[in-house]
Amino acid sequence: MVSGTVTSMPRGGASVPVTIDGLAVVTPPVDTSERPSLARAGAVVAVAMGAGNVANYAFHVLMARRLGPSAYGSLGALLGLSLIVSVPAMALQISIARHTALLRAAGTDRTELWGGFFRVTVVLGLATAATAAVASPLLVTFLHLDGTAAALWMAASIAPLPAVAGMAGMLQGEERFVAMSTVLLVPIAVKVVLALVLVGIGYGVSGALAAAAAGAAAGAGAGMVVVRPPVTGRFDPGVRSDLVKVLAAGLALFLLSNLDLLLARHYLGRRSSGLYAAGALVAKVAFWGPQFVTAVVFPRLTDSAERRRLLGRALAVVAACCIVGVVALAVAARPFLGSVFGSDYEGLGTTLWVFGALGTALALVQVVMFSAISAGDARMALAMWLTVVVEACLIVVFHRSIAQVAGVALGSVAVLLVVGLAVEQRRDGGREPVEPWPAPVP
């Protein structure tokens, strides 16, 4: 099985040598005319992810209104925790998309790779769900929950996520973005519809999380229909090594995007933590809104000849998508809070723009992280983990108000972004070559 970083690619015509992790491989010509243009692919994924994000944010807004600040604080914390413990699923998607793109560029069959990944997704889903279920009594104490039911439904919602993410990664690496978008939209649609019903008839936080579990299961079913993944296959050592390091980077990113919310729930009062959950939702809008950019460019970032140009364009598009929103939040915070979340949430006041800026910084960090992964550079992941530790320590000291916790999170991520861009400049400027992740496999 071939793995690594493509340093040159065939551009049509006769077969040409392709260098993958330093190994020269002669591959069939790749018809690049079959690849969708970035603009067209970006438009498709932007519409699909935009619809998904709108539905997901509508879910949170409706839950915030129907549950109130105290109960919504519990829901926000549990959903944030489910994102953290589902990071291995995201790492699988990133890794399988990367290796699928590499094998596709080399004209190599992907069946064995996909079979190995799919079996891992099933085992991982069951293991993470079981771990979360066992830990549910601890979550009740730490997050001040009213009982274990909500925590157990959160655990159930985790089980199908690795399979959904893995199949989405297969489609992403193949640049089948319409099919990928379909697989990712099904869970959100089912979750929103069922949550409105279950919360409406009085099941509260547990009903909302039961809807999330049903949505995840529906997404897994849709993926099986669209992808029809093989169930046999294996990983070579290079793929396993790559997956571990992608997991490290992905876990650091999701800790950075959720750590402040969990610590706010622990340190702040119930009402203040509910207000913080609303602000964190605004940060998620800025963070996930431009997600279509990285989804489209990532398969092509594996080509080192294109990486630097694509990275600059991706950062510019992400920044443009977010900056207008941050300015609007700074100018019209209170009217926005009153109209979207309700008068109970107007206590956030002018602090709201900080959450928008935090989401923007996280979105930019994510683009840099994906570039580092495609280049096989582990230094960005290391910098992210150091930032997690620093941010946690600072919040332990500075947690007297919503503004303090959010300010610490924003400052930490902003410094990380500067460090990541400096590392990218040194590597892509040609002054500091980096060995790819995994090492070549004979």
Cα dihedral value 327, 54, 276, 147, nearest 10? 180
Gap between the Cα atoms of 308 and 429, Å rounded? 9
Q: What is the mean pLDDT of the chain?
A: 79
Nearest-5° angle of CA 228, CA 231, CA 233? 120
Question: Would you state the pLDDT for residue 338?
Answer: 64
Question: Would you state the pLDDT for residue 191?
Answer: 93
2 within some domain: no
Concatenated DSSP letters for 155-184?
HHHHTTHHHHHHHHHHHHHTT-HHHHHHHH
382 within some domain: yes
Backbone CA torsion sign across 254, 395, 356, 282: positive
Gap between the Cα atoms of 19 and 259, Å rounded? 40
Q: Residue 365: pLDDT above 90?
A: yes
436 within some domain: no
CB-count burial class (<10 Å; 0-12, 13-18, 19+) for 398:
middle
Instruction: Indicate the helix (H) or strand (E) that contains 18.
Output: strand 16-20
Gap between the Cα atoms of 256 and 254, Å rounded? 5
Q: Amino acid letter at 181?
A: S
Lowest-confidence pick of 11-25, 164-178, 387-401: 11-25
Question: Would you state the pLDDT for residue 24?
Answer: 37
Average confidence (pLDDT) over 405-431? 85
Q: Residue 430: pLDDT above 80?
A: no
Question: Would you state the pLDDT for residue 386?
Answer: 96
Domain range for 216 is 16-27+38-428
Kindly indicate the confidence band of residue 237, based on its pLDDT and cuts at 50, 70 and 90: low
Does residue 187 contact residue 89 with C-beta atoms inside 8 Å? no
Query: pTM score, two decimals?
Result: 0.70
- Number of other residues whose CB lies within 10 A of the CB of residue 100: 23
Backbone angles phi, psi at 224, to 5 degrees: -65, -35
Look at the chain and report how many structural domains it folds into. 1
Q: Residue 31: pLDDT above 70?
A: no
Among 293, 323, 325, CA closest to 310: 293
Longest dimension (CA), the chain: 67
Q: Residue 441: pLDDT above 70?
A: no
Query: Which of 145-149, 407-411, 435-439 is predicted most confidently?
Result: 407-411
1 within some domain: no
240 within some domain: yes
| pLDDT tens-place string over residues 179-196 | 898 888 999 999 999 999
Question: Would you state the pLDDT for residue 167?
Answer: 92
190 within some domain: yes
Gap between the Cα atoms of 144 and 83, Å rounded? 19
Q: Amino acid letter at 411?
A: G
